[in-house]
Chain A
Amino acid sequence: MVPVSYYVALSAILFTIGALGVLIRRNPLIIFMSIELMLNAANLAMVAFARIYTVLEGQIFVFFVMTVAAAEVAVGLALIVAIFRTKHSINIDEMNSLKG
């Protein structure tokens, strides 16, 4: 049996990579994917903890996270499409009209 803490460590690594992706990539689609990766890492950690404590709630929560992620992706992609239509670009560094 693999120690469950290994899964948690893997989850932390994946999360860090996802966070790095959000920060360094300028393509909003890839940023989105990085966010999905972070969610996935969190899910992995939760499933691992559910296994450690033998409680089903961790998995239930993962189920809901997936649902929310699906909804988020649907709306987020729709937003990107809408932005692309008006600006003809999706470069995230060109979207700074909210600056102070």
Chain B
Amino acid sequence: MTPDLIAFFVLALIAIAAALGMLLSRNAVYSALFLVLNFGTVAVFYILLDAPFIALTQVSVYAGAIMVLFLFVIMLLGTETLPASKALPWQRPLAFILALILAGEAGYLLFFRNVTSGTIPQPVQTFGGPQALGQALFNQYLLPFEITSVLLLVAMVGAVVLTIKKKGEQ
């Protein structure tokens, strides 16, 4: 057991626990906070995987912007908890069975098909850094990059249009 591995398992356990906490919390606010924790651990994993730029984006965009938005909406609507429902009685057991099968399939794939065997080369120093990603985004992927800006603009306009209150509306 190397320190690396210990750190990984600890962090992995935190991530899984946070994910389960998000899933099981009755209160939506707790769920959101658990998710922020999960996103944070995943950001650390990104750093371990030589993706520092992505890790920082993860923190700022996901853990920062998106989750704040979630919390705003939860609190704005005041719907932290919901009453119990009798609809779809088979939903829950089926979902568990399917999730188990999915996990089993994934595990089978990982540990019996040996997809990641072989030595992993050490990347260059700048791999995954802002400079490398910036070079790629503004040269090779310039058009998709510009399209994402349009997409964000459309999403922004869409959000405004959906939530705007028309005159005379209650």
Chain A residues touching B, majority SS? helix
Q: Please provide the chain B residues from 123 to 161 with a CB less than 8 Å away from any CB of chain A in the complex.
A: 123, 127-128, 132-133, 136-137, 141, 144, 148, 151-152, 154-156, 158-160
Nearest chain B CB to A99 CB, angstrom units: 11
Partner of B82 from the list A40, A81, A91 (CB cut-off 8 Å) is: A91
Provide the bound-state CA to CA distance between A74 and B156, in Å.
7
* Residues of chain A within 8 A of B148, CB atoms compared: 64, 67-68
Whether B96 lies near A20 (C-beta < 8 A) is yes
* Residues of chain A within 8 A of B16, CB atoms compared: 10, 13-14, 17
Chain B residues touching A, majority SS? helix
* Residues of chain B within 8 A of A24, CB atoms compared: 23, 91-92, 95-96
* Residues of chain B within 8 A of A79, CB atoms compared: 162
In the complex, what residue of chain B is closest to A72 when comparing beta carbons? B155
* Residues of chain A within 8 A of B77, CB atoms compared: 80-81, 84, 90
Whether A78 lies near B159 (C-beta < 8 A) is yes
Provide the bound-state CA to CA distance between A34 and B118, in Å.
34
Provide the bound-state CA to CA distance between A57 and B22, in Å.
30
Binary contact readout A1-22 vs B (1 if CB under 8 angstroms, 0 otherwise):
1111111111011111111110
Whether B133 lies near A56 (C-beta < 8 A) is yes
A56-B127 in contact given A2-B4, A29-B73 (Cβ < 8 Å): yes
Whether A70 lies near B50 (C-beta < 8 A) is no
* Residues of chain B within 8 A of A34, CB atoms compared: 22-23
18 additional contacts (CB under 8 A) given A27-B79, A30-B23, A90-B82: A2-B4, A2-B5, A4-B120, A9-B106, A13-B106, A18-B19, A23-B94, A27-B82, A29-B31, A36-B62, A48-B49, A52-B116, A59-B53, A59-B54, A60-B136, A60-B137, A62-B51, A93-B87
- 28 example contacts (A-B, Cβ-Cβ < 8 A) are as follows A2-B5, A4-B49, A6-B12, A8-B110, A12-B106, A13-B19, A15-B106, A16-B103, A24-B91, A25-B23, A29-B31, A30-B23, A30-B28, A32-B70, A33-B22, A37-B35, A40-B38, A40-B62, A56-B132, A64-B148, A68-B151, A69-B62, A71-B152, A74-B156, A74-B158, A75-B155, A75-B158, A81-B162
What residues make up the interface of A, taking CB atoms closer than 8 Å to B?
1-10, 12-21, 23-27, 29-30, 32-34, 36-37, 40, 43-44, 47-48, 50-52, 54, 56-57, 59-60, 62-64, 66-75, 77-82, 84, 89-91, 93, 96
